[in-house]
Chains A and B, each alone.
Chain A
């Protein structure tokens, strides 16, 4: 991926950038990765987010890439990028299911149906609620992104957030209950 590397190199001279600034970069890379993988695979339609994120990390230079302060820095951007990708896809599927302007039933739409609606509903609900959690407790919201959208394990998330595994566990249980209660209070989408 020469252009990405060029971009990253460009950032070299300006020192470390924030995860937010890096987001578009990671976003594009993840999308490209996903598309390439999907083109290769003939049977599996659904890719594992965690595999994509890890591959993107390698491809974008990993530890050798000075644009990233560290792995955590990257994962923060990657998790947010992944979240946007997944939400976009879920919204498209949602629209398809509810008759939103679909003109043709073809292979693309067929693939949209692979994910069960229940999973999409959860995805979209968590997405909405997550911004509210972030307002109250950014660290836990970050954890949710890493765990839920980027598919990181507890250990990986602990490393990325630079906290202990028991803390991550505790935070996860709390965040999960918080989101569940919040979604219940605000009703489903």
Chain B
């Protein structure tokens, strides 16, 4: 920079007189070739422009830097009190021993508040509580007598003179044992409880406010300063808030989280419970939950954050972090040795203290008495009421609050996750070896000490482990917490890795929500996941991981549309998935995982087409999928992954054979599917996913065997499926898919019972199934499978009632029809939805015919016919053709019916129920329709 230069200053001053827009021209003109001058001027002008309020206000003046002692001295009279000697001085005031000269002559403690408070307000607040304070009368409380203002206008309080020392100091000086300390502490609780019952909250409980005196050599704790914190921290705003925070709350170590929020209004007796918890902590361990030095060096905001968010170590854990000499001293002051002290604290006392220190006060002891009672129970070796805070609860709070990836907190959280995993595994009776393996794994994670590792663990290994165990609510929790955590990251902390994790977490969250029947929420998570994943893979075109994640989202989106019966959208998304899978294989053709993705894409497309009845479109995709399995089998072992895929191929081949009316083939394929899955499950018996797949395969096999009249095999598969679903549900009761599967099996069983000749017992057993389905339907009315199953249940009930000529078959059938109709509509319904609905109408028609309501019967036949006609042309699917033939027969269109029946017979189809007698199209009578006979 050049030194003082009048020309430069002149130009600067001149430029300031001009509008900003004219500066460049002005500088061009004035500076000419002097580019250095021009640069300098430009910089100054820019600075002038940008300076804003810079230096507009003179520097702040000097401030009070030391507490100023009052003018009081021994002998000074304040009101009716004569000061005798100063007995204490703290952050908030000076305490004098004083002599009361009027009424009664006695010695009192007189506390003069030091700093600039609004004296009138303080006195007014005190007056508001004076009545209550006057009613306090308890041996463990120092009475408050009076309050007023000194001649210099400062507030003072007069209270019972307690000649004692701080409780912590007393305990250490006399080497009180833990039991003796607890006894003293219980007395403190009783004193505080007494005040609470009078409606008085202390708000500033700490050792210096709990003094112990000796009465005939018996130590008596007394709580002092009741009413003072309240009077001196009334309405606080803005600036005064901060000063008051430190003036009167002296040390923040004892302050409850809600007090740290500085909303002084919202403090209740549970804030005192918290402070008592800190005091108990200190009495037991000689340490505070949070290191006071750390706290005070942290700065105001950080102090508040720590108090509000950081989980302190348990007392016994805290002890274990002390160095040997310190620990020895702590133990010796309690007349014991370190090992015994630690053992003494672990368990009950840890829990009691930690329950006082809960951040959320609703989780603390509700009253001081409850706290005292728990301690007494502990002393008397009875079970305490404090229970460990659930690991999930803490995990939840960690995720919500934690914003910075701090090593220490990550380690804590990893430990919490460990807790979650272990409790989950215990819930499913994991073997010891597995537990040990899991503990080792979680310990390894804890050692890694980083939040992103934790996250990976949560979304990766942990998720997979939990998924296998099959506890959907835990999965839900993990996914939600991870999502919330990732969403809460500040932009500065958002890295590629966190974005990636977030996409993943959202996708998993969506899967969980879908499985819980929360369709709309599942969509919203998935949309967010796709946005992130698409952006991520666009930003990292070379990253296979990015592409893989994107592919997963695409596949899942397709599946979600599929389950919502939007087949067009499902196919569209599945095509995208296929493209991504192909790109993955192109990325690294030798990688097995990518080959498996490619299989999934082809297979799912085939399945989707099949589901829409488009077998011609399905076939090439299935062929492509089989090709992938061939390649995999040629290049690698026949492992669980590959067996799983082969099982799927057999399932789809069975489905297609079904649709084509090739029932023996179908039974054969389902048999192979079951066999493959049995092998996979045998290798990994605890895998809930495989178990579920196998249960479903058994349902298919049951169906095919039923149709081909292998009744024993059908019965066996159904029984095995029912057992499997029951076992799965016992672990994962919230899983809608499992529940639907189990209910399908039960309904099938009831149908078999009825068709097997016992409709009475089937009718008897169907009501609980209907009740369960109705409940589920009320909970998730958009779940199409649930709705279809409910319709099926009502229809079966109507059929049973019809067969037995018992009960109100008409209302059962009407309910079935209402439900079945609700599934038809613009979203192309699946074959089964059409089939079931047509059957509903047929049954309602039969019921009406039997009831003699002939005029309304015809409409039902017509409705069934209309539903099926569209799909019947060229179909070989008995689901369509069987009811279609029935509808034609009932409508009196015998020729068309005859052709369809012959077609079915050629396919080897044997109807479970006999064909109805043909009706007459012109003159339809009820007799014609009462065809129903037991099979």
A-side interface residues toward B, CB under 8 Å? 31, 34, 38-39, 41-43, 45-52, 83, 85-86, 89, 92, 97-99, 102-115, 119-120, 122-123, 126, 135-137, 140, 144, 147-151, 170-171, 173-174, 176-182, 184
Contacts and interface: CB of A to CB of B under 8 A. Distances in A.
A109 B249 CA distance: 13
B15 to A, nearest CB: 10
B47 A178 contact: yes
Contacts of B239: 114
B47 A106 contact: no
Nearest to A184: B47
Given A147-B58, A173-B48, A178-B44, A38 B1 contact: no
A181 B45 CA distance: 9
Contacts of B44: 174, 177-178, 181
Contact of A149 (B43, B54, B58, B116): B58
B102 interface: no
Contacts of B296: 99, 102-105
B637 interface: no
A180 B62 CA distance: 24
Given A105-B251, A122-B54, A177-B45, A111 B13 contact: no
Given A107-B115, A173-B13, A102 B297 contact: yes
Nearest to B12: A174
Contacts of B116: 41-43, 45
Interface string B40-59: 00011111101100110111
| Residue of B47, B51, B65 with most chain A CB atoms under a 10 A cut-off | B65
Contacts of A98: 299
Contact of B250 (A85, A105, A137, A174): A105
A46 B3 contact: no
A49 B13 contact: no
Most buried by A among B58, B153, B296, B297: B58
Given A83-B59, A140-B4, A174-B44, 16 more contacts: A39-B68, A46-B61, A47-B62, A50-B58, A52-B62, A98-B299, A104-B91, A109-B246, A110-B243, A111-B63, A114-B243, A122-B54, A147-B58, A178-B44, A179-B54, A179-B55
Contact size range, B: 35 or more
A108 B65 contact: yes
Contact of B1 (A50, A136, A140): A136
Given A148-B59, A173-B48, A180-B47, A45 B3 contact: no
Contact of A106 (B45, B61, B67): B67
Give the dominant DSSP class at B's interface.
Answer: loop
Contact of A49 (B1, B58, B247): B58
B252 interface: yes
26 contacts: A38-B65, A46-B60, A47-B61, A86-B60, A92-B65, A99-B299, A103-B293, A105-B91, A105-B251, A105-B252, A109-B246, A111-B243, A112-B65, A113-B246, A114-B239, A115-B60, A119-B60, A120-B60, A148-B59, A149-B58, A173-B13, A177-B12, A177-B45, A177-B51, A178-B47, A180-B51
A43 B116 CA distance: 5
B63 A38 contact: yes
A110 B59 contact: no
A151 B62 contact: no
A139 to B, nearest CB: 8
A46 B64 CA distance: 7
Contacts of A92: 65
A18 B67 CA distance: 36
A25 to B, nearest CB: 17
A148 B66 CA distance: 25
A80 to B, nearest CB: 13
B55 A126 contact: yes
The winner among B60, B242, B251 for most chain A CB atoms within 10 A is B60
Contact of A115 (B9, B63, B154): B63
A59 to B, nearest CB: 16
Contacts of A170: 9, 13
Contacts of A99: 296-299
A65 B261 CA distance: 55
B774 to A, nearest CB: 63
Interface of B: 1-4, 9, 12-13, 16, 43-48, 50-51, 54-55, 57-68, 91-92, 114-116, 118, 153-154, 239, 242-243, 245-247, 250-252, 293, 296-300
A162 B50 CA distance: 30
Contacts of B46: 181
A108 B66 contact: yes
Contacts of B9: 170-171, 174
Nearest to B10: A170
A178 B868 CA distance: 87
Contacts of B13: 170, 173-174
Given A180-B47, A180-B54, A47 B63 contact: yes
Contacts of A39: 68
Contacts of A144: 55
A180 B12 CA distance: 15
B51 A176 contact: yes
B31 to A, nearest CB: 17
Contacts of A45: 63-64, 116
Nearest to B52: A180
Contacts of A178: 44, 47
Contacts of A173: 12-13, 16, 48
Contact of A46 (B43, B55, B63, B252): B63
B6 to A, nearest CB: 11
A47 B252 CA distance: 29
B303 to A, nearest CB: 9
A117 B67 CA distance: 22
A157 B783 CA distance: 81
Contact of A89 (B62, B243, B250): B62
Nearest to A99: B297
B114 to A, nearest CB: 6
Contacts of A50: 58
A151 B13 CA distance: 23
Contacts of A171: 9
Given A43-B116, A174-B44, A181-B44, A151 B61 contact: yes
A110 B242 contact: yes
A164 B530 CA distance: 69
A174 B47 CA distance: 10
A49 B43 contact: no
B119 to A, nearest CB: 9
A14 to B, nearest CB: 31
Given A99-B298, A137-B3, A177 B48 contact: yes
A107 B297 contact: no
B63 A112 contact: yes
Contacts of B45: 177
Closest 6 interchain pairs by CB?
A99-B297, A181-B47, A177-B48, A151-B58, A42-B116, A34-B62
Which of B59, B62, B298 has the most CB atoms of chain A within a 10 A radius of its CB?
A: B59
A57 to B, nearest CB: 16
Given A114-B243, A173-B48, A178-B47, A38 B62 contact: yes
B64 A181 contact: no
Nearest to B69: A39
B320 to A, nearest CB: 27
B59 A123 contact: yes
A72 to B, nearest CB: 19
